[in-house]
Homo-oligomer: A and B are copies of this chain.
Amino acid sequence: MLFKGGGLPHESLALQEKLFGAGPDYNFMTRIERFKNSLVRVQHFIRCCARYNLHDHADKKWFEGVAFPNEVSVLGPHSGMFIPTLKEQGSEEQIQKWVPQAEKHQIMGTYIQTELGHGTFVRGLETTATYDPKTEEFILNSPTLTSIKWWPGGLGRTCNFGIVMALLYIDGKNYGMHPFVVQLRSLKTHEPLPGLTMGDIGPKFGFDTVDNGYLQFNHFGIPRENMLMKYCQVLKNGTYTKQTRNPKFSYGAMIFVRSMVVYEVAGQGLAKACTIAIRYSAIRRQSELKKSRPEPQILDYQTQQYKLFPLLALAYAVWFTGVRMKEIYFMVNNEIKQGHTERLPELHAISSGLKAFTTSMASWGIERCRLACGGHGYSAASGLPKIYVNATGGCTYEGENTVMLLQCARFLMNIYGGVKNGRRPSGSVNYLGERISSRCTLTSEFTLKSLADAFKHRAARMIKEASERLNRLQASGNDPEDSWNLNSVVLTKAAEAHCHYYMVLVFESVVESVEDNCVKDILRQLCQLLALCGIQENSGDFIQDGFLNNDQLELVKQKQLSLLSEIRPNAVLLVDAFEFHDVQLGSILGRFDGNVYENLFKWAKKTPLNKPEDLIHRLLR
């Protein structure tokens, strides 16, 4: 109950639906079969939403976790991007027109922004929407090869509507990027409308169940009323008007999705991988620790513990951080509704930074879990390849990670600059207003406070140095843009240090809030391990200004190793606590009942390559 709280009832409901998990194993299907199978489950999911009255986003998410384990369905862009953007950017009239149809799935939509030659940098997009006052239409066009819309999920075969981001032109003047509602396919035949060239962009590393698509406009007209007009309007005669009200929260959907990625993609993905690898390591026996004794569980090897327990600690840390992100999102969202937008930049910065930091850490972590399972980890039966290929997508979508870290760094530089001008920061960056302490309080006790302080010191020092280096680069004659670029590696590292501190702090606060002393002790060990591994892997950062000395670093190493033995007896329980059902793990190695070998054998026998096929025989003669 530590993790899923209110989610469990919805998971249980979903697990009762026979259709989910029915049919052949995902791993035995072709891409087209995977896609179709997912569509069947999408339809059933829609029926279930009606039957069980699922409306709340979080409730649906728990349900989807069972319906679409370790994969993404075409519902994602529809409910996560299309509908929220309609609600945020549409006028009342527009919301009334499209949202009810979309919520009843009478129309299926996606969000169409990125282009073949343009990704995270929105201002680089080339698609045009030119207003023609004679026909009162916007003419959408793809003027270049690189302007072809590329990647939107569900665009390839599924969606019949989309919100298209395009440059608005009126009378030859460019008014910048605006959102347009576009019907893409006939509601009768499902054929693309004339003037549109559309299709699927082809197979990817993962995401087989989603038809990411392309879309080329050939002077395609849409009614004037289809520009989303909450903040900007184009009148019949071509007059352009703009609300004075600050549309800052128009990037609320983006912040929401990034916050969710921390929790759902990074947190849950790594937690599943740890569950599989740690359970399997308690089943698998290998080599010998003592001559003529039975082969030990591989979880008893120090090297295996050293691979997996820091990842287990990371999984807990990322999960808790994801929960915290969600809480902060809803809190700031409420503040904004009451007109207070002060904390929006901070929320934007920390959600960008943590999205990047946690997806990178979790992705590598999932792969390490797979590698820790040896040969069987490489088999699709482990479930780990599928978890990895879907999680690693999170490093790129919703903002490429390096760009995200630089956005976070930009905020940190602003705050630090403000501090030097006497402003007092608050929230997650309040520590930048403190004097950087050079007194390290780390002793062999390794209290969580002292560990968090070490990360605070590191982050503060690196942010300060990045800021000073930026100033030096400018002072020596570089213009601001070149200085920023020549400092960008240092800036990304400063942003990572800030996010790392944030994560340690969240974990510490969770440990402090736990009342059961036994649970508290175990979680404290995990939190210590997380922090100590962070210090060791980045020891240069901690030792460089003399904050940590060599003797302390030696203590850090020793404590890490002793924690491995202390965590060992609880390791399997700590992953069982995530409460993933076998359907959600999709892994033979991670089965709750531990019956690994028998089921690997059964599974292998069912693989399509084992069906007799004359051609193979003929080829071999």
Contacts and interface: CB of A to CB of B under 8 A. Distances in A.
B546 A550 contact: yes
Contacts of A607: 199-203
A112 to B, nearest CB: 14
A42 to B, nearest CB: 8
Contact of A481 (B35, B202, B289, B406): B289
A124 interface: yes
A555 interface: no
A300 to B, nearest CB: 8
Contacts of A284: 117
A73 interface: no
A450 interface: no
Interface in A497-530: none
> Which of A189, A206, A605 gathers the greatest number of chain B CB atoms within 10 Å?
A605
B597 A380 contact: no
Task: Quickly give the copy total for this chain.
Answer: 2
A370 B205 CA distance: 10
Contact of A117 (B28, B401, B406, B597): B597
A397 interface: yes
Nearest to A386: B205
A613 B190 CA distance: 12
A316 interface: no
Interface string A19-48: 000000001101110011001100100000
> Which of A200, A286, A375 gathers the greatest number of chain B CB atoms within 10 Å?
A375
Interface in A316-334: none
A621 B406 CA distance: 44
Given A146-B597, A543-B543, A597-B116, A610 B199 contact: yes
A306 to B, nearest CB: 5
A243 interface: no
Interface of A: 27-28, 30-32, 35-36, 39-40, 43, 108, 114, 116-121, 123-124, 145-146, 148, 150-151, 156-158, 189-190, 199-207, 211, 214, 284-291, 295, 300-304, 306-307, 364, 367, 370-371, 374-375, 377-381, 385, 389, 392-393, 395-397, 400-403, 406, 479, 481-482, 485-489, 492, 536, 539-540, 543-546, 550, 553-554, 561, 597-598, 600-601, 603-610, 613, 615-617, 619-621
5 contacts: A27-B203, A190-B617, A201-B607, A289-B481, A371-B401
